[in-house]
């Protein structure tokens, strides 16, 4: 092999090594000290990683900005749900959107207690349910994963062919 081709293979190997090291870092160290907050809304459940406050019982999910009010909630040891990710033991907290307290689980009795909702929360949930019913058909039209992967693969092949035809990459 010529020196140029050999040098290109070295760059490709270094690129794969960097990506591999980045993925290992994300898997093992990215969420250290954070708690996985699973927020339950009428439409879906979304996840956000948050650091607990120094008092150890409060998590700020949305910080206040201008006139927009923020959202924080309190949790206890009974709210923590243990799970494993890449061999590490981590914790999650389940909470309803804009609720002042997290959902608490009693593992001895196999029961859970959810915080009581105010009238404003009930109105907001009813509004969400009405919007969900109105736009249910629009939300159901999603692109399949296999189609997205096929598109990405075809784009990569297209870029390689353009580089070959322009003479920037030589095959053989």
Query: Would you say residue 28 has pLDDT above 80?
Result: no
The pLDDT tens digits of the residues spanning 131-153 come to 777 766 665 567 778 888 999 99
Does some domain include residue 151?
no
Does some domain include residue 96?
yes
Does some domain include residue 130?
no
Indicate if 41 and 105 belong to the same structural domain.
Answer: yes
Q: Which of 115, 131, 164 is the last residue of a domain?
A: 115
Indicate if 77 and 10 belong to the same structural domain.
Answer: no
Contact (CB, 8 A) for 112 and 104: yes
The span from the CA of 67 to the CA of 99, in Å, is: 19
pLDDT band at 122 (very low <50, low <70, confident <90, very high): confident
Count of structural domains within the chain: 2
Indicate if 104 and 80 belong to the same structural domain.
Answer: yes
Phi-psi region of 33 (alpha: psi -120 to 50; beta: other; left: phi over 0): left
Indicate if 13 and 38 belong to the same structural domain.
Answer: no
Indicate if 37 and 111 belong to the same structural domain.
Answer: yes
First to last CA, the chain: 10
Q: Which domain holds residue 57?
A: 33-115
Q: What local confidence, expressed as pLDDT, does residue 12 receive?
A: 86
């Amino acid at each position: 092999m010529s020196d140029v081709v050999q040098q290109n293979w070295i760059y490709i190997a270094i690129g794969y090594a960097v990506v591999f090291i980045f993925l290992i870092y994300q898997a093992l160290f990215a969420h250290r000290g954070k708690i996985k907050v699973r927020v339950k809304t009428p439409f879906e459940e979304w996840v956000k990683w948050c650091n607990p406050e120094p008092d150890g019982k409060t998590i700020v999910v949305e910080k206040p900005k201008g006139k927009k009010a923020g959202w924080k909630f309190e949790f206890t040891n009974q709210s923590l749900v243990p799970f494993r990710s890449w061999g590490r033991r981590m914790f999650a907290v389940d909470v309803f959107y804009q609720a002042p307290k997290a959902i608490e689980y009693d593992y001895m009795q196999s029961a859970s207690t959810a915080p009581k909702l105010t009238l404003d929360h009930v109105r907001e949930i009813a509004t969400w349910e009405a919007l969900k019913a109105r736009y249910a058909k629009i939300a159901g039209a999603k692109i399949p994963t296999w189609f997205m992967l096929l598109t990405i693969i075809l784009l990569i092949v297209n870029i390689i062919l353009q580089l070959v035809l322009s003479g920037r990459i030589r095959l053989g």
